[in-house]
Amino acid sequence: MTTNPAPGPDTRAEGTTNPARGARTGPAPAPVTRAEVPAIPAPVHATRAEGRFTFTAATPLAADPALAGAAAWLRASLTPATGLPLPDRSRGSEGAGGVELRLAGGLGPEEYRLTATPESVLIEAATPAGAFYGAQTLRQLLDPAAFRRGRTGDRTWSVPAVTIADAPRYGWRGCLIDVARHFLPKNDLLRYIDLLAAHKLNVLHLHLTDDQGWRLQIRKYPRLTEVGSWRRESPLGARRHRRFDGRPHGGYYSQDDIREIVSYAADRFITIVPEIDLPGHTQAAIAAYPELGNLATPLEVRTDWGVSENVLNVADSTIAFFTDVLEEVLELFPGPYVCVGGDEVPKTQWNESVPAKERIRELGLRDADELQTWFVRHFTDYLLARGRRPLGWDELMEGGPPPGLTVGAWRGEKCATMAARAGHDVVVSPFAETYLDFRQAEGDQEPVPIGSVTSLEAVHGFDPVPGGLTEQERGRILGAQAALWTEHIDSPRLLDYMAFPRLAAFAEAVWSGGRDFEDFLGRLAVHEKRLDALGVEYRPAAGPHPWQRRPDAPGHPRTRAEIDGTLAAWTANLRF
């Protein structure tokens, strides 16, 4: 199985969603209540009927050959918890009833129909991805114990009689996980791929490199992981407190690890977008290969958070070095997008560097912002020539955007609007609304509280499309992604706490839209039992458990007014 969140033609009927471009068009969907289908994300249309379909040991599972992978996933997911063998029955063979996955025309790439009657369950889709999402919904219609990895006792397994017609609002439904600041071991990352798939998210943006660590094996440059994959200590809490844990931290993914991760994700219709930060957030690489930097003094892998002034130099040899890195990245990640970073690049060293100033003069550039565009354009042109799509953060627009760039708009609605109006595809990820490392509530009980409050309700009501865009400009909004930056998330347990249940709310916002928060809360009460079965240590509605607090690691909470002021300062002089 493979997945591709890239823009593509809309093959569905009027009134449904183009899963690759823009918001839903046509008639508004009928409300779906928790009494009908307690699924998250909520299906677009759902109608209950009388009765239930009850599984037995003889209940067969049939699938068209093209949908065999989704059927195999469904059997492998349900059998351990239910004890039901779901024996295979070929399509068209004798016998009625059971569960069937059937190819059907006239549906979009991720669209499905699910019809459960007292006699049978039918999932129809035009693609394996659509069938997979239908199978995910079927699993949610069962008792939450279906999400366990083994049986917990005898019970009757059944689903309500229901008709569901479902399709996503956006083709790009993503989550960024920052494995550079705090490394996430492979098994935990595979677990998160399953969690994303369970919520019908289809993009995992892996932030693999930064000042504080390099997490990807590169055969040609072994010191990137020998030196760059670990730091001698980490801050304990927000950097302003100047407290450190005195403990080495590190780790990296071998190339075979990455091949396994990519394959595992593809089987769940998740595309992995790798990020190799350029030309800033590169101190770990410079520590491994000092010739990449601007200073004569050797550097260590950064042990502090924040933005480092140490950036790459603009020598031809440095460009060649990272072209070699990207060559290996393309071998490992077959998806259409590669992120080249471009965010938070201090220009101090370039403004003081004789070679950098000579580059600006010889190229006839206006300033260091345009030098950054020139530098990054080598890599965006390289990716385009290799048939890939470069993704970069919205700062890359400031010096004149490289052609073909897909913009990751993280600095708010203004940047998303300007990028779309400039003709660029846009992935929306505004930090004040979708950064899940921000605290979840007021009060010092939240672990390492930073940023303003990003509440569950606010995430659920998030709308990726800025107001005031034309229909054509709206079509350039590919979708959105939440972000789990891990400066202050130092364990998988804390990652669970910060991600859930907000990531479930985000998944609903980008799949079906946050229509009714009270209804969502009703369905969340059931969904939390699924998360319990999966072992997810989510934040309880009443606040953290005692063991989820971090009094040892003080944070830096800010008000929304302060965040808005920072955003206004960042974007006041945008000239793209």
Instruction: Render 16-53 in DSSP notation, one character per residue.
Output: S--SSSSS--SSPPPP--TTT---SSPPSEEEEEEEEE
Tell me if 511 sits within 8 A of 41, measured CB to CB: yes
Task: Return the closest-CA partner of residue 311 out of 325, 291, 294.
Answer: 294
Residue type, 185: P
Task: Return the closest-CA partner of residue 34 out of 508, 523, 564, 530.
Answer: 523
Task: Return the closest-CA partner of residue 205 out of 410, 493, 453, 465.
Answer: 410
Please tell me the predicted confidence (pLDDT) of residue 288. 98
Please tell me the predicted confidence (pLDDT) of residue 25. 36
Task: Return the closest-CA partner of residue 538 out of 553, 524, 546, 528.
Answer: 528
Tell me if 434 sits within 8 A of 482, measured CB to CB: yes
Please tell me the predicted confidence (pLDDT) of residue 95. 52
Task: Return the closest-CA partner of residue 404 out of 384, 429, 418, 422.
Answer: 384
Same CATH topology for 45-166 and 172-571? no
Mark 302-331 as b/e (b = at least 16 C-beta within 10 Å): bbebeebebbbbbeeebbebbeebbebbbe
Tell me if 101 sits within 8 A of 125, measured CB to CB: yes
Give the tokens for residue 497. 């706490």
Verify whether residue 45 is a known catalytic residue.
Answer: no
Please tell me the predicted confidence (pLDDT) of residue 96. 59
CA-CA-CA-CA torsion sign (33, 36, 38, 39): negative
By three-state DSSP, how is residue 199 classified? coil
Please tell me the predicted confidence (pLDDT) of residue 5. 43
Residue of 281, 424, 488, 527 marked catalytic: 281
Q: What are phi and psi of 36, to 5 degrees?
A: -85, -60
Tell me if 215 sits within 8 A of 183, measured CB to CB: yes
**Pairing status of strand 61-63 against strand 209-210:** unpaired
Tell me if 474 sits within 8 A of 18, measured CB to CB: no
d(CA 565, CA 430): 14
Q: State the DSSP H helix or E strand holding residue 263, giving kind and residue range, or none if neither.
A: helix 255-266
Q: Is the pTM of this model over 0.85?
A: yes
Task: Return the closest-CA partner of residue 101 out of 159, 62, 59.
Answer: 62
Verify whether residue 281 is a known catalytic residue.
Answer: yes
Strands (DSSP E) contained in 442-551 are 450-451, 477-484
CB atoms within 10 A of CB 202: 30
d(CA 24, CA 459): 19
d(CA 306, CA 302): 10
Residue of 328, 344, 381, 457 marked catalytic: 344
**Pairing status of strand 158-166 against strand 112-116:** antiparallel
d(CA 16, CA 480): 19
Task: Return the closest-CA partner of residue 406 out of 421, 384, 390.
Answer: 390
Is the bond preceding residue 279 a cis peptide, omega within 30 degrees? Answer: yes
Reading the chain (576 residues) residue by residue, the pLDDT tens digits are 344 444 332 322 223 333 334 444 333 444 445 556 899 999 999 999 999 999 999 999 999 999 999 999 999 999 999 999 999 986 555 555 899 999 999 999 999 999 999 999 999 999 999 999 999 999 999 999 999 999 999 999 999 999 999 999 999 999 999 999 999 999 999 999 999 999 999 999 999 999 999 999 999 999 999 999 999 999 999 999 999 999 999 999 999 999 999 999 999 999 999 999 999 999 999 999 999 999 999 999 999 999 999 999 999 999 999 999 999 999 999 999 999 999 999 999 999 999 999 999 999 999 999 999 999 999 999 999 999 999 999 999 888 888 999 999 999 999 999 999 999 999 999 999 999 999 999 998 999 999 999 999 999 999 999 999 999 999 999 999 999 999 999 999 999 999 999 999 999 999 998 779 999 999 999 999 999 999 999 999 999 999 999 999 999 999 999 999 988 888 887 764
CB atoms within 10 A of CB 239: 15
Residue of 100, 210, 398, 425 marked catalytic: 210
Please tell me the predicted confidence (pLDDT) of residue 572. 81
Give the chain's largest Cα–Cα span.
Answer: 80
Is the bond preceding residue 41 a cis peptide, omega within 30 degrees? Answer: yes
Count of residues in the chain: 576
By three-state DSSP, how is residue 546 classified? helix
Residue type, 279: P
Between the CA atoms of 146, 149, 154 and 157, what dihedral angle is there, to the nearest 10 degrees? Answer: 20
d(CA 199, CA 561): 32
Please tell me the predicted confidence (pLDDT) of residue 97. 83
Architecture per CATH, domain 45-166, reads as 2-Layer Sandwich (3.30)
Is the bond preceding residue 248 a cis peptide, omega within 30 degrees? Answer: no
Please tell me the predicted confidence (pLDDT) of residue 298. 95
Q: Find the helix packing angle between 255-266 and 186-198, rounded to 10°.
A: 10
Q: State the DSSP H helix or E strand holding residue 178, giving kind and residue range, or none if neither.
A: strand 172-178
Please tell me the predicted confidence (pLDDT) of residue 399. 82
Domain boundaries, the chain: 45-166, 172-571
Measured CA distances, 545 to 244, 276, 487, 554 (Å): 25, 36, 22, 17
Mark 22-36 as b/e (b = at least 16 C-beta within 10 Å): bbbeeeebeebebeb
Verify whether residue 344 is a known catalytic residue.
Answer: yes
| Burial classification of residue 166, based on how many CB atoms lie within 10 Å of its CB (0-12 exposed, 13-18 middle, 19 or more buried) | buried
Domain 172-571 classification at class level: alpha beta
